[in-house]
Structure 1
Amino acid sequence: MNFDSVDSNIFFTELEEFDETKKLLTELKTLSKVKLKKIMKISDKLAELNFLRYQKFESLPAKQAILAYDGDVYSNIDKKTFSHEVLRFSQDHVRIVSGFYGLIRPLDKIRAYRLEMSIKLAKNAPKGLDRLWQEKITRKLNNDLKTHENKYLINLASNEYASAIDRKLLEVPMINIHFREFRDGVIKNIALNSKRARGMVVDYIVRNNLDVPEEIKNFNNSCYEFNLKLSNESNYFFVKNYGS
C-alpha cells in the first residue's frame, strides 16, 4: 500500500462500512505483535508495522483505494494517467474485494491495513475471512449490478479473493479471466505475470469504457492473445507465446 501522498485534485467517495469491518478492527487491536506475525506469516518488521497500524487506525491518513493499493496488480493499472471520466467509469464498473473492508469502490477512501482473505481470526472469522464475507459481498455485487444494462461479473481476482463470492447466491453470469504462457512447448501459469496481466486488463477495460464481455477478447497488451481453444463462455484464456 502507498500512502506517501494524497492528491487533493482527485475526487473521492466515502466507504460504505460494514459492521464486520468494525468487529475485525476490534479483534485485531487485541492481538500482540507475536500473534500477528504467526497469523499473517510475516516478518518481525511487518508485524511491528501492522500492529501500529491497527492500534492507531482511526488516525491514519485516508486515500482513494485505487491509488492506495500498490502491489503487482495495481502497479499495472496506469491510474496516474486516468482522466476524471475514466475514474468515474471505474467507480461504476470496478469493485475491489478486501479481507478487511469487504467490497470497495475505486474512489472510496481507505486506511492502510494488512489482512489477506485466507487468514482466520478466532472471534470473527474462525472459518476464514472468505466465509465471513461471502454473503455480504455477493449481495452487494448483485445490488450494484442491477443498475447495469449488461449484467456480468468479470472476475479478475485471484482464487483466494474470488472465494469470497458465493457462486450460488450470485444472480449474474461470472466470467473468469485466466492468463497462461507458452514456453518450451508447454502452456504454463506464471503467477507473478498473471497478477500483472490482471492489472493490465482492468486498465484496458476502464480506459476503453468496455461494458460488453465480448470486447475484452481484443485485449492484447504485453503479447497476450485471446485463446479460443482454451476458452468457453465462463472462462476467457489469454496466452502469451514466447516463440512468436
Structure 2
Amino acid sequence: MQIITAPSKTQQFNGRELKEYTCPETLSLSEEIVEILRGLTQDELASLMKTSDRLTESTRQRLDSFCTPFTLDNAKQALFTFQGDAYGAIQSTSYSLDELHRAQKHINILSGLYGLLRPLDLMQPYRLEMATRLAVREHKNLYALWKDTVTALINTRLRKSQQAVLINLASEEYAKVIDKKRLEAEMITIIFQQEKSGRSRSIPIYSKRARGRMIDYFITQNVARAEDLKDFAMDGYSFIAEKSSADSWLFLTKKT
C-alpha cells in the first residue's frame, strides 16, 4: 500500500534534527524548473504565480538561494518542513526511527517543484503549485511534465508493497498528476465530510486536518491493509459504507 498527499505552502526549516536523509529522485528536473523561473522578470513571476509583490519577492529570494547538492546545511527533510493544517496533525517530531522508516516506505508527497518527495527527502524552500501554467521542455504545464515520472515512481513503490493499492489523501489539484490508466493498482480516494445542522459537506480546514490525522494513524498504528483504514475514528470520524464505493471512501464527523 502506498499513500499520496499534497504539500503545503507553509514551510519551516528549524524543526526536528535528524542525521538520516535521502535526496529527491528527480532533482535534476527540479533544477531545470528553477532555472526557467529565474529567467522570468518580477512581473512575469507575479503573473505566473498570481502572487502579491511581497510573496513574489519571497519567491524570488527562494529561487536565488536554491542550490545543489542538497545537504543538511542547506536543506531539510520534507516531513519536518511542511506545516499547515494537514502536517500539523502528523506528529512527526515524536516519531521513532521505525515510524519514520515506515513513513519513508509508504508516504509520497506530490510537489510542483520536486514531483514526488519521500518524507526523508531533503528539500529547500519553494513556492510552486502543481496547477501553475509553467511550460517546461515540450510540456505545456507541470501536470504534463510530471505525470509520467510521478506515476512511474509510484508504480515502482507499489511493486515493492505487500498490497497493490494507492490511497489518495491528496487534494484534487495534486491527485490529478497521477495517470490512472498507467497506474498498476487501484486508487482509493478518501473523502472527509463534516455534518452540521443536518447538512454534510467538506470544509477545507477540517478535511486537511483529517488527512493528516489519517496519515498519522497509518504510521503509528502500523496499518497493514487498506481495509484497516476503515477503522479510523479520530476526531469523531467514522466510515460511511452506504455512501462509499470501491474507489471512494467517505468518512463523516459531526460538528456542533
TM-score range relative to shorter protein? over 0.9
Q: Which residue of 2 aligns with 1:237?
A: 250
Gapped runs of 5+ residues in structure 2?
1-9
Query: Are 1:31 and 2:40 matched, yes or no?
Result: yes
Gapped runs of 5+ residues in structure 1?
none
Shift of 1:10: 4.7
CA distance in 2, matches of 1:85, 1:10: 15
Q: Which amino acid counterpart does residue 24 of structure 2 have in structure 1?
A: L
Structure 2 length-normalised TM: 0.89
Runs of 4+ in structure 1 deviating by more than 6 angstroms, as ranges, are none
CA distance in 2, matches of 1:208, 1:30: 47
Query: Are 1:48 and 2:61 matched, yes or no?
Result: no
Cα deviation per residue 1:63-104 (whole Å; 9 max; x = unaligned)? Answer: 000001112211111111111110000000111111100111
- Segment of structure 1 superposing worse, 56-65 or 100-109: 56-65
Q: Which residue of 1 aligns with 2:98?
A: 85
Q: Which residue of 2 aligns with 1:217?
A: 230
Question: Aligned-residue CA RMSD in angstroms?
Answer: 1.7
Shift of 1:14: 2.1
SS at match of 2:231: coil
User: For 1:55-204, what aligned pairs fall within 5 Å after superposition?
Assistant: 55-58=64-67, 61-124=74-137, 127-204=140-217
Shift of 1:203: 0.6
Query: Are 1:17 and 2:63 matched, yes or no?
Result: no
Q: Which amino acid counterpart does residue 84 of structure 1 have in structure 2?
A: L
Shift of 1:241: 1.9
CA distance in 1, matches of 2:197, 2:137: 47
CA distance in 2, matches of 1:103, 1:48: 26
- Segment of structure 1 superposing worse, 234-243 or 122-131: 122-131
Shift of 1:124: 4.2
Q: Answer yes or no: is the 8 Å Cα contact 2:135–2:141 preserved in 1.
A: no
Structure 1 length-normalised TM: 0.94
Shift of 1:34: 2.0
Q: How many residues align?
A: 243
Q: Which amino acid counterpart does residue 39 of structure 2 have in structure 1?
A: T
Q: Which amino acid counterpart does residue 92 of structure 2 have in structure 1?
A: K
Q: Which amino acid counterpart does residue 77 of structure 2 have in structure 1?
A: Q
CA distance in 2, matches of 1:220, 1:125: 46
Shift of 1:126: 5.8
CA distance in 1, matches of 2:127, 2:84: 12
CA distance in 2, matches of 1:20, 1:126: 13
Shift of 1:125: 7.5
SS at match of 2:59: helix
Q: Answer yes or no: is the 8 Å Cα contact 1:3–1:61 preserved in 2.
A: no
Identity of aligned residues (%): 35
Q: Which residue of 2 aligns with 1:2?
A: 11
